[in-house]
Amino acid sequence: MITKICCIGAGYVGGPTMAVIAQKCPHIKVTVVDLNQERINAWNDNDLSKLPVYEPGLDSVVKEARGRNLFFSTEVDHAIEEAEMIFISVNTPTKTYGVGKGMAADLKYIELCARQIARVAKTDKIVVEKSTLPVRTAQAIKDILDNTGNGVQFQILSNPEFLAEGTAIEDLFAPDRVLIGGETSPEGEKAVQALVDVYANWVPKDRILTTNVWSSELSKLTANAFLAQRVSSINAMSELCEKTGADVNEVAKAIGMDSRIGPKFLKSSVGFGGSCFQKDILNMVYIAKSYGLNEVADYWEQVIIMNDHQKRRFAKNIIKTLYNTVSGKKIAFLGWAFKKDTNDTRESAAIYVADDLLSEQAHIAIFDPKVEPEQIHFDLNYLDTRSKEENAKGVSIETDPYETCKDAHAIAVLTEWDEFKTYDWQKIYDNMLKPAFVFDGRNILDGKELEKIGFKYQGIGK
Ligand code: UDX
Ligand code: ADP
């Protein structure tokens, strides 16, 4: 039975996942390590509102397990040495250089982990891929471990994480399924069973699915591609709805009642974001192309093309509606995170909409209930469209939504935070320049009510 686990990478996946494993398995010591000292300090902060990842319910899980059998540390070597099972949960960003630039996953952090494990391990280890990886990465990890290790045995498992940010704790407590891929040898099967036993502490056995490694790796990419495809499909229909007088919410409801289609993941929006969808699809497109499967690659790439179009057309519509110029105009952004209930901004549609409006010399005032100002500056500067100074001049980051909207020509809703629905919209209207526009990129506000107040309201796909 496994009694010591370590996880390399204390990010949005590693942190919450390990916190739940520790909470549900008090007999297992779980150590989460990261090179980033600041991040580890935040995970160890007594003030639970300072945890580096915002997730509803995460604070109480950490409170219960931290110091009991859950530990956060920067001592990577020590944690590797001690653990029987090592999860790799480091970032695998899209490559920004060389072969596969802009498409393939950059596996340098994974490789560094594998080399470190090989160097440090003095006893047999089960190494678990938690990060989403291109299919056949397990082979690369195995090659490194077997060729550079100290003669100890390594078993590689693939155990992709399907949690969605914002609902991570719910998803981890009651997953639709846990997927574990392993080798079909007796040692492989033993390793798979060891991980099954960990999850079986709280997940019903019939929800723990075991496959070969390659099916597991590819299933994760496939699941994300299918989910993203649904969003791009409904977003494609949203543009058609706007031209034809149909309402995309009504269309989504009508098709979602077909049990073959189902009602979930059909919310039209300003475009999907997050660390996974775009990265995983591009990665899959790259893999397909590398096998010469051009039709397969083109089919999936269209999901990304549609998503880029949706973000850009939202910005274009703001400019067109504001009489073809936003130069010098204040546009209030409600929301910056890629979805509600998270402080994660990776690939958030807000970044790209802001980029387009800043290029048209708008002034953007931004309010998000959970995202730190430094993160917003980082996101805009990372794009490299303008200098840091120009970005800083064009943007103000606010702490009060009413101040954000004061004297604005228009409001753009970029994230579906629940609190936006409860604002005093009359007060917001009274303090805006007229005509006062609302561009609801999430279709969360009551357009009819806003129009009664006097707003000019536009949702997506209506
Ligand atoms: C996704 C997968 O859901 C999860 O299983 C995987 O482990 C990681 O990637 P995540 O990116 O955290 O999770 O959030 P998700 O809820 O999938 O939303 C992704 C993006 O799609 C968000 O920007 C969201 O706002 C958008 N979205 C989602 C829509 O625009 N409409 C929808 O109907 C659903
Ligand atoms: P995810 O959303 O997949 O969890 P994040 O970027 O939030 O991704 O987290 C990945 C974490 O992995 C980061 O905190 C980063 O510092 C950490 N990391 C990357 N490489 C290593 C490494 N070799 N050793 C320890 N931690 C690492």
**pLDDT digit string, tens, across residues 193-219:** 999 999 999 999 999 999 999 999 999
| Structural domain includes residue 288 | no
Q: Whose CA is nearest to atom 5 of ligand 2?
A: 11
Q: Which ligand is nearest to the CA of 461?
A: 1
Number of structural domains (the chain) is 2
Residue 281, CA distances (Å) to 132, 438, 456 in order: 11, 32, 37
| Structural domain includes residue 225 | no
Domain boundary among 203, 237, 264: 203
164 Cβ below 6 A of ligand 1: yes
Domain that residue 359 falls in: 311-458
Choosing from 25, 113, 276, 405, which is the catalytic residue?
Answer: 276
- CA of 10 from ligand 2 middle (Å) equals 6
| Structural domain includes residue 164 | yes
Q: What is the CA radius of gyration of the chain?
A: 23
Whether residues 190 and 326 share a domain: the answer is: no
Residues 6+ apart with CB under 8 A from 371: 336, 337, 343, 345
Active site residue 25: no
Q: Which ligand is nearest to the CA of 277?
A: 1
Per-residue pLDDT of 374-432, as tens digits, reads 999 999 999 989 999 999 999 999 999 999 999 999 999 999 999 999 999 999 999 99
CATH number of the domain at 416, please: 3.40.50.720
296 Cβ below 6 A of ligand 2: no
- CA of 269 from ligand 1 middle (Å) equals 11
165 Cβ below 6 A of ligand 1: yes
Domain boundary among 203, 228, 249: 203
Cβ proximity of 76 and 8 under 8 Å:
yes
Whether residues 195 and 337 share a domain: the answer is: no
39 Cβ below 6 A of ligand 2: yes
- CA of 231 from ligand 1 middle (Å) equals 9
Q: How far apart are CA 181 and CA 159, in angstroms?
A: 6
Whether residues 193 and 326 share a domain: the answer is: no
| Structural domain includes residue 213 | no
- CA of 411 from ligand 1 middle (Å) equals 24
Q: Whose CA is nearest to atom 14 of ligand 1?
A: 164
| Structural domain includes residue 103 | yes
Per-residue pLDDT of 46-70, as tens digits, reads 999 999 999 999 999 999 999 999 9
| Structural domain includes residue 229 | no
224 Cβ below 6 A of ligand 1: yes
Q: Which ligand is nearest to the CA of 170?
A: 1
- Does residue 149 surpass a pLDDT of 90? no
Domain boundary among 203, 221, 248: 203
Whether residues 192 and 319 share a domain: the answer is: no
| Structural domain includes residue 291 | no
Per-residue pLDDT of 271-306, as tens digits, reads 999 999 999 999 999 999 999 999 999 999 999 999
10 Å CB burial of residue 373 (0-12, 13-18, 19+) is middle
Selection from 321, 310, 320 nearest residue 267 by Cα? 310
| Structural domain includes residue 276 | no
